[in-house]
């Protein structure tokens, strides 16, 4: 299951390690979408919403190298490629979940506090 590590020597701090492996905001959004199940390239691009083809490709390659996602090629015409999470990728679910929960809570706070009928 485990492929090559991110760098030769990981940071001492576990949080820093995680941040390093997660990478950018794009990687997190890809992760979020693939947690719902496998997706094709174009589907992923659409579900993320605003990512360019070039960036999506490079982030997918990066995550594949790190053993987070799996790339399945179906030799058809037209070509079909499906991306899915590896076992390792799935282990990141709790992090995405905690982000989801916080984001939901935060958005509620915001909408309450900007609601004119918000109690004082």
Partner DNA sequence: CAGCATCCAGTCGGATACTG
Partner DNA sequence: CAGTATCCGACTGGATGCTG
**List of residues contacting DNA (CB under 7 A):** 24-26, 40-43, 50-55, 57, 60-61, 71, 78-82
d(CA 5, CA 18) in angstroms, rounded, equals 12
- Residue 69 site contact among DNA, its own copies, none (CB < 5 to 8 Å, cut-off depends on kind): none
CB nearer to DNA: pick between 58 and 91: 58
Strand partners, 70: 84
**By CB under 8 A, residue 61 contacts its own copies:** no
Q: How far is the CB of 40 from its own copies (least distance, A)?
A: 20
Q: How far is the CB of 75 from DNA (least distance, A)?
A: 11
Using CA atoms, how far residue 32 sits from 10, 47, 71, 78, in Å, is 24, 10, 16, 27
Residue 83 CB neighbours (<10 A): 22
């Amino acid at each position: 299951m485990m492929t090559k590590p991110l760098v030769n020597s990981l940071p001492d701090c576990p949080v820093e390690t995680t941040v390093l492996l997660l990478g950018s905001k794009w990687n997190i959004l890809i992760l979020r979408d693939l947690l719902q199940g496998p997706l094709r390239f174009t589907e992923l691009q659409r579900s993320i919403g605003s990512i360019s083809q070039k960036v999506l490709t490079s982030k997918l390659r990066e995550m594949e190298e790190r053993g987070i996602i799996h790339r399945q090629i179906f030799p058809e015409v037209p070509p079909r490629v499906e991306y899915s999470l590896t076992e390792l990728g799935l282990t990141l679910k709790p992090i995405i979940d905690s982000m989801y929960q916080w984001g939901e809570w935060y958005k509620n706070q915001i909408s309450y506090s900007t609601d004119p009928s918000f109690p004082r």
